[in-house]
Amino acid sequence: MEALGARLAALLHAGDVVLLNGELGAGKTTLTRGLGAALGARGAITSPTFVLARTHPTASGVPLVHVDAYRLASAAEVDDLDLDLDGSITVVEWGADKLDGAIDSWLALDIERPHGGDPASDDAPRHVRLTPHGPRWDGLRLPPET
Ligand SMILES: Nc1ncnc2c1ncn2[C@@H]1O[C@H](COP(=O)(O)OP(=O)(O)OP(=O)(O)O)[C@@H](O)[C@H]1O
Ligand SMILES: [Mg+2]
């Protein structure tokens, strides 16, 4: 999952938004950690349970903003965070349907644990479906695995 995050990171520029969907323990934060490491993000990337959005400076100067929208009920509440979507790379856990109207392009990742059960003891490979939305992601090509 970290490796997938790193491959994704290679594509990301200021203004890009990645929405991560998938149940508790699916691997959303784990993927974000790999993505952050590849961007040279400073600060630990953790599940921001009590922090709705955390900004990590990165090596390129474009900050990585990691949002946990689990507790946010609507697009209006996300709007209240006053995110700098244009100037950042924004990764939103539980982001489906919560950025309506604010963006015209985003990359959605749906992460599944094929075996279900207790997430704490599930080391099985995850299934990830990548769905590009909007003009930004026309012709999307994920860099190969290294
Ligand atoms: N192949 C895998 N991919 C992702 N995580 C895995 C994998 N195998 C085991 N894990 C473990 O599953 C857990 C995933 O937790 P993580 O915090 O990334 O999930 P999350 O989707 O962010 O959950 P939450 O909804 O609670 O924020 C971690 O403990 C991780 O070590
Ligand atoms: Mg998480």
Which CATH number goes with the domain that contains 129?
A: 3.40.50.300
Report which secondary-structure segment, H or E, holds 108: strand 106-112
pLDDT of residue 49: 66
pLDDT of residue 76: 87
What number does the ligand 1 atom closest to the CA of 120 have?
A: 29
The domain of 88 spans 2-134
Residues 116-143 have pLDDT tens digits of 899 999 999 999 999 999 999 998 888 8
Residues 16-60 have pLDDT tens digits of 999 999 999 999 999 999 999 999 999 999 986 678 999 999 999
Report which secondary-structure segment, H or E, holds 8: helix 2-9
Strands 89-93 and 64-68 come out as parallel
Give domain status of residue 70, yes or no.
yes
Instruction: Give 20 Cα–ligand 1 centroid separation in angstroms.
Output: 12
Give domain status of residue 139, yes or no.
no
pLDDT of residue 48: 61
Is the confidence at residue 144, as pLDDT, over 70? yes
Is the confidence at residue 107, as pLDDT, over 90? yes
The Cα 134–Cα 26 span in angstroms is 25
Give domain status of residue 144, yes or no.
no
Give domain status of residue 31, yes or no.
yes
Give domain status of residue 37, yes or no.
yes
The Cα 100–Cα 111 span in angstroms is 21
User: Of all protein residues, whose CA lies closest to atom 8 belonging to ligand 1?
Assistant: 123
pLDDT of residue 50: 74
- For residue 93, what are the β-bridge partners? 20, 68
